[in-house]
Amino acid sequence: MNSPKLIPLLAILVLLSCSTKNSRIEINHNFTAGLDHMKSSEMKNLQEDDFLVYADEKNFDVLLKEKRATLVLFGMVTNDYSDFEKKYGIKVKTENCVITPGISKTAMVNNQIISAYLNEKFDTEWKTDLHVLPFGLN
């Protein structure tokens, strides 16, 4: 009759012995290590210079030198601007159609700085080749 009381006690002892066998706990500080195998090959090839950095008076020369100066368009449709980018050395990036007031002002300043550079260097020929007027340019 004592065996029904003994089974729960035995189960508790087994659980305690299993949980205390390895008292050393290893903490993995690289939280993204396991995610690499889930990324597509396009994502693995992303470089720092693939991310948009808006131009301002302070960083424009650096962006131009690094070939990271980017005209920003807003809309739902993206086109192939590779010919424009090769000819003028300026990237073109289409962002989504949701424009916040902060991004609106930043994108407008960015496009005005790049537009002034292109106008000085290529007159208005670049506008014809782009086929669309970037955000903030009238």
- Count Cβ atoms within 10 A of the Cβ of residue 76 and give its class: 0-12 exposed, 13-18 middle, 19 or more buried: exposed
**pTM (predicted TM-score):** 0.64
Specify the higher pLDDT residue, 45 or 97: 97
Q: What mean pLDDT, rounded, does the chain reach? A: 80
User: 81 CB contacts (<8 Å, ≥6 apart)?
Assistant: 91, 92, 130
pLDDT per position as a tens digit, 81-115: 999 999 999 999 998 888 888 889 999 999 999 99
